[in-house]
Amino acid sequence: MRKIVHIDMDAFYASVEQRDDSQLRGKPVIVAWRGNRSVVCAASYEARKFGVRSAMPAVRADRLCPNAVFLPPDFPRYRAVSRQVRDIFHRHTDLIEPLSLDEAYLDVTENKTGLPTATQVARTIREQIRTELQLTASAGVAPNKFLAKIASDWKKPNGLFVIQPDEVDAFLLPLPVGRLPGVGKVTEEKLKGFDVHTIADLRCLDLSVLETRFGRYGVRLYELARGVDESKVVPDRPTQSISAEDTFERDVPLSETEPMIRRLAELTWAASRNERRIARTVVLKLKTAEFKILTRSHTPSSPPSSCQELTAIALSLRERVALGPQQRFRLVGVGVSNFRSGGHLGSTGSIRLKVKLYLDIYFTVAKLTLVMWLHRDKLSLDNYGEAGKL
């Protein structure tokens, strides 16, 4: 049996803002660019009381909660905090699959700390996030990924919910089908046509019926309805690209995109500074008024070494867009990709790092052995979870 923990930071960006500015605490905070086409990136729980939600148009959020404090997103800062959260996860397991800056799956079937149950691992992680980062996270513990994700949402915010293997059916069957991953409005409507509203209803449908109606996804639905999900926690892949994009207030000709490109290049440059490796390729993305997406990229012989260079390349990539002066654009993005190791650490640097790492490991092992020896009586039986329990 696998032991999966899903961790979801509570109102992450808004919570970081409230943590770092005591004036904002207890107030409705909305993280969003101001503008007609902006959307809410995050809303504090005080703002959610007014019905404000992530991904809602900022204009609508403003109408729902006129007294809210609007803050432009500061992604480099959120990314840095996200990395600190990730460091806490790594104390427990290296099988971490991030879904976004504020959410991740952890496979703790075997964990590094020797905590006896997945529940205790989740509790410890939440505690470490709270005391070390002054932020709250919700956690779900379950025998697979999709149940762990539903569980983390169950006691949100600042909650922990565990679905034990023998509780899966009791938990799952009464839920509406819309709770299953991949079941959106369209699938939900289709299922209603079969008189399927809850997961219990879904379980009554034969595999052949689901397969005919939904193809490959029908098989997945059949399994999900039975609490089965074999998908593995796929550990973090190295960053493939870093980019920033934004939509204009109104559609503009190419000649008027410069100020926005400059601003986005700055954001991308700042974010890329957190990456150890060097990005070799610069990408310019444009979306036309008709929603057609164009990308142009350039890999200079030596990678851009300053924000000015990155900006200059991004601006020059516009020359490779041949759509005529009457063409209007609604969005522009600036990105970097094609990361290579930067060689920051010379050979002596990496040897020093290795020596330090080995010394750290040596002392940790020595300390652990001493602690285990001192507590050898307590460690005997009662700390180990019953077999088959998370």
Q: Strand pairing of 69-71 and 278-288? A: unpaired
Say whether residue 97 binds Mg ion (CB under 5 A).
no
Binding span for Mg ion by CB under 5 A among 6-14, 81-89, 166-174, 239-247: 6-14
User: Position 318: which residue type?
Assistant: R
Exposed / middle / buried, residue 118 (Cβ in 10 Å: 0-12, 13-18, 19+): buried
Say whether residue 126 binds Mg ion (CB under 5 A).
no
Say whether residue 46 binds Mg ion (CB under 5 A).
no
Between 85 and 205, whose beta carbon lies closer to Mg ion? 85
When binding is defined by CB under 5 A, the residue of 97, 102, 107, 229 that contacts Mg ion is 102
Q: Nearest Cα to 254, choosing from 335, 336, 332?
A: 332
Place of tokens 């960053």: 239
Least gap, CB of 161 to Mg ion (angstroms): 15
Binding span for Mg ion by CB under 5 A among 2-10, 150-158, 218-226, 376-384: 2-10
Between 13 and 222, whose beta carbon lies closer to Mg ion? 13
Say whether residue 14 binds Mg ion (CB under 5 A).
no
Q: Nearest Cα to 93, choosing from 121, 118, 112, 69?
A: 112
What is the helix (H) or strand (E) element at residue 31, kind and residue range? strand 29-31
User: Position 44: which residue type?
Assistant: S
Least gap, CB of 267 to Mg ion (angstroms): 22
Place of tokens 């986005």: 264
Binding span for Mg ion by CB under 5 A among 7-15, 56-64, 77-85, 201-209: 7-15
- Would residue 103 show up in a list of annotated catalytic residues for this protein? yes
Q: Nearest Cα to 309, choosing from 272, 345, 339?
A: 272
Say whether residue 135 binds Mg ion (CB under 5 A).
no
Between 9 and 52, whose beta carbon lies closer to Mg ion? 9
Least gap, CB of 48 to Mg ion (angstroms): 12
Binders in 274-313 for Mg ion, by CB under 5 A: none
d(Cα 223, Cα 21) in Å, to the nearest integer? 46
Between 97 and 102, whose beta carbon lies closer to Mg ion? 102
Say whether residue 54 binds Mg ion (CB under 5 A).
no
Binding span for Mg ion by CB under 5 A among 1-9, 175-183, 279-287, 329-337: 1-9
Binding-residue total with Mg ion (CB under 5 A): 3
Least gap, CB of 47 to Mg ion (angstroms): 14
When binding is defined by CB under 5 A, the residue of 5, 6, 8, 111 that contacts Mg ion is 8
d(Cα 179, Cα 334) in Å, to the nearest integer? 35
Beta bridge partners of residue 140, listed in sequence order: 6, 161
Query: Which residues, 6+ apart, have CB-to-CB distance to 265 below 8 Å?
Result: 307, 310, 311, 314, 334
Least gap, CB of 268 to Mg ion (angstroms): 24
Least gap, CB of 10 to Mg ion (angstroms): 6
What is the helix (H) or strand (E) element at residue 295, kind and residue range? strand 293-298
Alpha carbon of 39 to those of 11, 47, 57, 72: distances in Å? 15, 15, 4, 11
What are the start-end ranges of the H helices in 181-285? 185-192, 199-203, 207-214, 216-225, 258-272
Between 97 and 317, whose beta carbon lies closer to Mg ion? 97
Between 137 and 163, whose beta carbon lies closer to Mg ion? 137
Exposure of 37 in the CB half-sphere (CA atoms within 13 A): 9
Please give the span between the terminal C-alpha atoms of the chain, in angstroms, as a whole number: 9
d(Cα 224, Cα 203) in Å, to the nearest integer? 9
Least gap, CB of 215 to Mg ion (angstroms): 31
d(Cα 138, Cα 152) in Å, to the nearest integer? 6
Between 161 and 329, whose beta carbon lies closer to Mg ion? 161
Between 102 and 107, whose beta carbon lies closer to Mg ion? 102
Helix (H, G, I), strand (E, B) or coil at 90: helix
Of the candidates 17, 46, 103, 249, the residue annotated as catalytic is 103
Binding span for Mg ion by CB under 5 A among 4-12, 161-169, 265-273, 304-312: 4-12
Are 58 and 33 spatial neighbours (Cβ–Cβ below 8 Å)?
yes
Least gap, CB of 180 to Mg ion (angstroms): 20
Binding span for Mg ion by CB under 5 A among 15-23, 96-104, 151-159, 211-219: 96-104
Q: Indicate which residues carry an active-site annotation.
A: 103
* Residue ranges binding Mg ion (CB under 5 A): 8-9, 102
